[in-house]
Amino acid sequence: MTSQQQFDWRPIDPGQAAAWAALVAATEAEDRQDEHVAEQDLLEFFTDPDLDFSSGSVAVYDGGEMIGYSLVIARTEADPVHQARCMGGVHPRYRQRGIGSQLLEWAERAAESVHNERFPGQPLSLGGRCLARTDGAVALFSAHGYQESRWFLRMSSDLTADLPAIQHPAGVRIVGFAPELSQDARLVHDEAFRDHWDWTEMTAEGWAHFMASQAFRPAYSFLGYDGDEPLGLVLGHEYDSYTQATGRLDLYIPTVGTRRAGRRRGIATALLGRVMRAAAADGFVSATLDVDADSPTGAVGLYERAGFAVRDTWVTQIKPLIG
From residue 155, alpha-carbon distances to 44, 112, 185, 252 in Å are 25, 34, 23, 10
The span from the CA of 74 to the CA of 51, in Å, is: 7
Give the burial class of 34: count Cβ atoms within 10 A of its Cβ; 0-12 exposed, 13-18 middle, 19 or more buried.
middle
C-alpha to C-alpha distance for 73 and 60, rounded to whole angstroms: 18
Q: What is the pLDDT of residue 255?
A: 97
CB 21 within 8 A of CB 69: no
- Rounded to whole angstroms, the Cα distance separating 310 from 223 reads 26
The DSSP call for residue 219 is G
How do the pLDDT tens digits run along the chain, 323 residues long? 344 568 999 999 999 999 999 999 999 999 999 999 999 999 999 999 989 999 999 999 999 999 999 999 999 999 899 999 999 999 999 999 999 999 999 999 999 999 999 999 999 999 999 999 999 999 999 999 999 999 999 999 999 999 988 888 999 999 999 999 999 999 999 999 998 888 898 899 999 999 999 999 999 999 999 999 999 999 999 999 999 999 999 999 999 999 999 999 999 999 999 999 999 999 999 999 999 999 988 999 999 999 999 999 999 999 999 98
- 154-314 has the same fold as 3-145: yes
3-state secondary structure of 43: helix
End-to-end CA distance of the chain: 34
CATH 3.60.20.10 for the 3-145 domain, yes or no: no
The pLDDT score that the predictor gives to residue 5 is 61
Its sign, for the CA torsion 133, 139, 144, 146, is positive
Q: Cα(188)–Cα(280) distance, rounded to whole angstroms?
A: 25
Query: What is the CATH T-level fold of the domain 154-314, as seen in this structure?
Result: Aminopeptidase (3.40.630)
The partner residues of 255 in beta bridges, in order of sequence, read: 235
Task: Please report the pLDDT score of residue 258 as a whole number.
Answer: 96
Per DSSP bridges, beta strands 250-258 and 229-237 are antiparallel
User: Domain residue spans in the chain?
Assistant: 3-145, 154-314
Sequence-distant (6+) residues with CB within 8 A of 251 are: 159, 217, 220, 236, 237, 238, 275, 276, 279, 284, 286, 287, 288
Helical (H) or strand (E) element with 148: strand 147-158
Buried b (16+ CB within 10 A) or exposed e, 77-93: ebeebbbbbbebbbbee
